[in-house]
Amino acid sequence: MPQKKPLVVVTRKLPDVIETRMMELFQVRLNLDDSPMSKKAVIEAMKSADILVPTVTDRIDAAVLGEAGPNLKLIANYGTGVDHIDLAGARKRNIVVTNTPDVLTEDTADMTMALILAVPRRVCEGERALRSGNWRGWSPTWMLGHRINGKRLGIIGMGRIGCAVAKRARGFGLSIHYHNRRRVHPDTEAELEATYWESLDQMLARVDIISVNCPHTPATYHLLSARRLKLLQPHAYIVNTSRGEVIDENALARMLKTGEIAGAGLDVFEHEPAVNPKLVALDNVVLLPHMGSATFEGRIDMGSKVLINIRTFVDGHAPPDRVLVETF
């Protein structure tokens, strides 16, 4: 007798090729509208599912996990970050959690580099001026920005993405500095000619551009607090393609408005999808709608990772991308 296929509930619309393969392999309940499920809908899904495939827009907290049915044994997250999932609560209920590491590294690093270029050179300001009809031709003193060649880039979180950003930045003539919980391998440090700072405070005071590439964990919530933001030099820029919660957004907006920080490029926000109106009102900020990993290739690769994790788990083996600890 053929083995019963597990019920997989997917909370968001995924690429067609991924959904089709899921339908071939498992009993699947898809979300046909590409809109986030309500908390109530997620709870109902968890009551009946054997496997849940959530995304960053689903808050799987202790209250939601408490409603999980006895059959739920795997949460196969579609994405790298798992700060929206109560990992400790899942462990207590013997629910395995997986994610999709590695596949988003290059895409996110590309977007980070794009912001590192766009903010000092005022790319978006110039584009808005042209579209609004305010451009009157070339001028030797209009829309001046700053070159990045020769500047110091401080990377917070020297994991896969942080290292990929550093490699790109080296090609643009930036000097690499970094703060990480643990120092990277000496060979990596030598290849990138990177300077390690055990003290984040000391690094912030000495660099020209900050790139936030650490995950959001309890330890990194408001890591860039108002106190730490004040350590930055007035000509410094901040780029964040990680998680909005790492920065005290209100303090950042206040300092950008007063000129205590020169500019920022943000792809993530503290209360997504809401964006702080104080940031929206500023010209010296480039704002993007969380699109750092938004490539066709990346989204399909993410889905392939989810499929592998589910198939491995269903076959009775440890999935390759099981989330065990939170680090940066």
Catalytic positions are 243, 272, 290
Q: How far apart are the first and last CA of the chain?
A: 47
Distances (CA, A) of 6 to 27, 116, 297: 6, 45, 27
Contacts of 58 (CB under 8 A, 6+ apart): 11, 36, 37, 42, 84
User: Token pair 């393609």 is at which residue?
Assistant: 241
Distances (CA, A) of 11 to 34, 39, 58, 262, 328: 9, 11, 8, 40, 27
Q: Using alpha carbons, select from 215, 208, 159, 216 the residue that is nearest to residue 188.
A: 159
Q: Using alpha carbons, select from 89, 106, 138, 83 the residue that is nearest to residue 297.
A: 106
Can the peptide bond before residue 101 be classed as cis, meaning omega within 30 degrees of 0? no
Q: 90 is written with which tokens?
A: 């899942």
